[in-house]
């Protein structure tokens, strides 16, 4: 990871970008985010507005995956690229391969999955291609072979992983290095409500290895926005950082108090800024232009050391469940 002022670069990618991106899980997803279901306000038109507002605000990293909405997230991005007039080269496009345990021929599976993603996105390469989770039955060596192959084929500029532990990240980092490819990123759930990646040394290991920590669910699926309370919990199947809202309300109160000292920054903006100053790149979702602009408000200002310490004091380690133990090693 290298920084150019307020800009970040992935190892292997000759392109700098702002240290906040857009997580595109909600784009096309019904089961968790309610598109086409309980959330009637989430439409392709509002997504287009979010996309354009993000780019206008200087937020150009868009993270998706082959499994988001059964590929619909990638298709929506492809349609936006075709219709918006935004220069593709301004954007950093990231997507992921789902390493299901039954995918034993992993080298061919990675190449085929990436080619299908490229078709849905309407592009000839992605800037970042990631392993979605540490659930493959194949070795780090086999996965590194597969990732290096798509880089050498020109289908991906950089490669990364998601939800990897320190040990797993170090192992695949070493395997990739032997193949002349850098490990660019490790995408993990990291927020004020899940400080675990910092507490177990993962963030420090990323900095040591030059790996960008991409922080998904950085506002805890809406729990840190101030929109939800114990009396009004989040809707749908939002399982990340699912602490009781009674524990979260005092955290949001602290974020709001700090934001008021910075020209009325919102709790979300304070939460995103905390992550940026921890050395991570948060990738919050954006369902509409208002949310996109609010996310971009995490850029261009700074928390004081005292304010960072105040947030550290109320931050939570995270919720450990059986699912998280299987999926979230980082």
Residue 3 pLDDT exceeds 50:
no
Q: Do 226 and 267 contact (CB within 8 A), yes or no?
A: yes
Q: Where are the domains of the chain?
A: 2-327
218 confidence band (pLDDT: 50, 70, 90): very high
From the list 38, 68, 129, 190, the catalytic residue is: 68
Output the CA–CA distances (angstroms, integers) from residue 65 to 45, 158, 192, 263, 302, in the order listed: 20, 15, 24, 36, 31
240 confidence band (pLDDT: 50, 70, 90): low
- As a whole number of angstroms, the distance between CA 259 and CA 303 comes to 9
What's the mean pLDDT in 173-198? 97
Q: Do 241 and 193 contact (CB within 8 A), yes or no?
A: yes
Q: What is the pLDDT of residues 315-326, one digit of tens each?
A: 998 666 666 677
Q: What is the pLDDT of residues 11-55, one digit of tens each?
A: 999 999 999 999 999 898 887 766 777 778 889 999 999 999 999
298 versus 230: which is more confidently predicted?
Answer: 298
Q: What is the pLDDT of residues 281-310, one digit of tens each?
A: 999 999 999 999 999 999 999 999 999 999
Backbone angles phi, psi at 142, to 5 degrees: -65, -40
- Cβ-based neighbour number of residue 14 at 10 Å: 9
Residue with tokens 């105040």: 310
What's the mean pLDDT in 178-184? 98
- Kindly state which CATH superfamily the domain 2-327 is placed in: NADP-dependent oxidoreductase domain (3.20.20.100)
Q: Do 52 and 289 contact (CB within 8 A), yes or no?
A: yes
Sheet of strand 2-4, all strands in order from the earlier edge strand to the far edge = 2-4, 7-9, 16-17
Q: Is 227 helix (H, G, I), strand (E, B) or coil?
A: coil
pLDDT (0 to 100) of residue 231: 67
Residue with tokens 């059986």: 322
Q: Do 249 and 315 contact (CB within 8 A), yes or no?
A: no
| Catalytic annotation present for 228 | no
Of 114, 103, 188, 118, nearest to 148 by C-alpha is 114
pTM: 0.93
């Amino acid at each position: 990871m290298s920084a150019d002022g307020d800009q970040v670069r992935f190892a292997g990618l000759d392109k700098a970008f702002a240290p906040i991106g857009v997580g595109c899980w909600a784009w096309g997803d019904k089961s968790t985010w309610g598109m086409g279901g309980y959330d009637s306000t989430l439409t392709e038109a509002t997504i287009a507005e979010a996309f354009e507002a993000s780019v206008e605000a200087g937020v150009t990293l868009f993270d998706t995956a082959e499994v988001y909405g059964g590929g619909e997230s990638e298709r929506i991005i492809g349609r936006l690229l075709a219709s918006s007039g935004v220069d593709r080269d301004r954007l950093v496009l990231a997507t992921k391969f789902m390493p299901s345990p039954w995918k034993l021929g992993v080298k061919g599976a990675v190449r085929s999955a990436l080619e299908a993603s490229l078709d849905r996105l309407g592009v000839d390469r992605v800037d970042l291609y990631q392993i979605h989770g540490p659930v493959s039955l194949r070795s780090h060596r086999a996965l590194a072979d597969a990732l290096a192959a798509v880089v050498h084929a020109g289908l991906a500029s950089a490669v990364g992983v998601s939800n990897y532990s320190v040990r797993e990240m170090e192992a695949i980092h070493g395997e990739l290095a032997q193949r002349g490819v850098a490990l660019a990123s490790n995408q993990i759930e990291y927020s004020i409500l899940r400080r675990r990646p910092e507490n177990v040394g993962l963030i420090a290991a990323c900095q040591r290895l030059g790996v960008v920590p991409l922080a998904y669910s950085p506002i805890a699926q809406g729990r840190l926005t101030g929109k939800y309370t114990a009396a009004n919990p989040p809707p749908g199947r939002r399982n990340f950082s699912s602490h009781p809202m009674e524990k979260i309300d005092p955290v949001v109160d602290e974020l709001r108090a700090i934001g008021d000292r910075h020209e009325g920054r919102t709790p979300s903006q304070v939460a995103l800024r905390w992550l940026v100053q921890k050395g991570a790149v948060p990738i919050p979702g954006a369902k509409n232009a208002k949310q996109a602009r609010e996310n971009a408000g995490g850029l261009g200002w700074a928390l004081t050391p005292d304010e960072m310490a105040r947030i550290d004091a109320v931050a939570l380690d995270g919720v450990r469940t059986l699912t998280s133990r299987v999926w979230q090693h980082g």
